[in-house]
Amino acid sequence: MDKKKIGIIFGGKSGEHEVSLLSAASVIRAIDKEKFELHYIGITRQGRWMEVPKILGRDIDGERDITADIIEKGSWEKAAKEFNPGELKGRIDFALPVMHGPYCEDGKIQGLFEMLDIPYGGCGVLASAVAMDKALSKKIFEMEGLPVCRYELLTRRDVKGSLDAAAQRIEKSLGYPCFVKPANMGSSVGVSKAADRQQLKEALNLALEYDKRIIVEEFIDCREIETAVLGNDSPQAAAVGEILPSAEFYDYNAKYCDGGASKLCIPADISEEAATRIREMALKAYMAIDGEGFARVDFFIDKKTGKIYLNEINTIPGFTKYSMFPLLWEAAGVKYGKTIERIVELGYERYYAENSGQTVL
Ligand SMILES: Nc1ncnc2c1ncn2[C@@H]1O[C@H](COP(=O)(O)OP(=O)(O)O)[C@@H](O)[C@H]1O
Ligand SMILES: [Mg+2]
């Protein structure tokens, strides 16, 4: 049988472009090239679609995968050729988006794959869009009886209308310190902790640079606990891990630029009961948003009270060899390369379930 042509889709228009390059390079190094024919599809920051040519794809120098190296370094654009995304189906059999943030993880590109009739890895349109919006997903979690912290949603209109009125509303309902975030973003981009009115106003303006919807949350003095989910109709949760950030909170620098000072602790040093509850809540949240394929589900545990809060679901979590999602599955006995293969299998499974034997009336 011919090898399936897997398009690794990386880069993208979001503020998490660089993070995607790291994740994609790791996936490319790990994926079994005996089984799959890889195509390297990059999306530039401006949204142009490009393919890094095959000759580079074969260019493995000893242990080094040259294509992965140039993608990681961000110099892939020079070697790539632009194409019309409408022609994607002719190039690949299956799309594996390894991108984060708006246009990449929020259902938009998933909608394009659906329209082009290309099977793809990870959550579908609805789950991706809902999980990306921190305010909407919290509303759904609340409806499911899942514990979330207190929060307020502000729109651009609220903030532009009267910054003072918006700040006063937050002061009254949540107080200080509070966390201000663009509703649709990731990697802590645009996220700030505000300790007074002045900081709150600055934080609102910053968040507005990234999204027209802003979520403000009560501050939880917390431990950060995460688990990883894989599956379609019968999803399963892996081990539970803890993030030990190198900074006051897990900001962009602590995530990617601190040279490894932030640590992951797997399994998390929490009680068996707490770990079981977290896994159960993760699966409930995943199913509530119609999760498919995979996702990482993040929690806070209040350091003083021990109360567990569901923070967010990431439908395309960081995917380097050192990222929490693959490591949680390694701890559960599934190797990095196998986790990627499982995501491909699940994407095909969904595609065939949706497309086999259906007649359109
Ligand atoms: N309500 C909160 N209380 C305390 N810390 C928070 C709160 N919300 C976010 N943080 C900190 O900010 C980080 C980023 O916020 P998060 O909601 O996870 O956004 P992102 O999608 O960018 O990862 C978290 O990992 C945590 O360190
Ligand atoms: Mg997060």
Read off the CATH number of the domain in which 346 is found: 3.30.470.20
Element (H, E) at 8: strand 4-11
Find out whether the beta carbon of 187 lies less than 6 Å from any atom of ligand 1: yes
Cross-strand pairs, 225 = 242, 299
Domain around 76? 4-120
Q: Would you say residue 63 lies in a domain?
A: yes
CATH number at residue 206: 3.30.1490.20
Is residue 358, in this structure, part of any structural domain at all? no
201 vs 62, which has greater pLDDT?
Answer: 201
Residue 179 lies in a domain: yes
> How many helices, marked H, and strands, marked E, lie in the chain?
14, 16
Evaluate: CB of 324 within 6 angstroms of ligand 1: no
Ligand nearest to the CA of 252: 1
Residue 15 · residue 101 · CB < 8 Å: yes
Instruction: Answer whether residue 361 is part of any domain.
Output: no
**Residues 200, 74 share a domain:** no
249 lines ligand 1 (CB under 6 A): yes
With respect to residue 84, please indicate whether it lies within any of the assigned structural domains: yes
Check residue 199 and report its DSSP letter. H
Q: Peptide bond preceding 267: is omega within 30 degrees of 0, i.e. cis?
A: yes
Q: Are residues 67 and 162 in the same domain?
A: no
Q: pTM score, two decimals? A: 0.94
Question: Do 282 and 139 reside in the same domain of the chain?
Answer: yes
- DSSP assigned state of 321: T
Q: How far apart are CA 290 and CA 284, in angstroms?
A: 10
CA dihedral 22, 318, 330, 269 (to 10 degrees): 130
Q: Which tens digit of pLDDT belongs to each residue from 53-105? A: 876 655 565 667 889 999 999 999 998 999 999 999 999 999 999 999 889 99
Mutate to test the pocket of ligand 1, among 191, 216, 224, 305 (most ligand atoms within 8 A of CB): 191
Tens of pLDDT, residues 345-360: 999 999 999 887 655 4
Q: Is the CB of 315 under 6 A from ligand 1?
A: no
- Asked whether residue 175 falls in the same domain as residue 239, the answer is no
Overall number of domains in the chain = 3
Average pLDDT over residues 290-295: 98
Question: Is any atom of ligand 1 closer than 6 Å to the C-beta of 99?
Answer: no
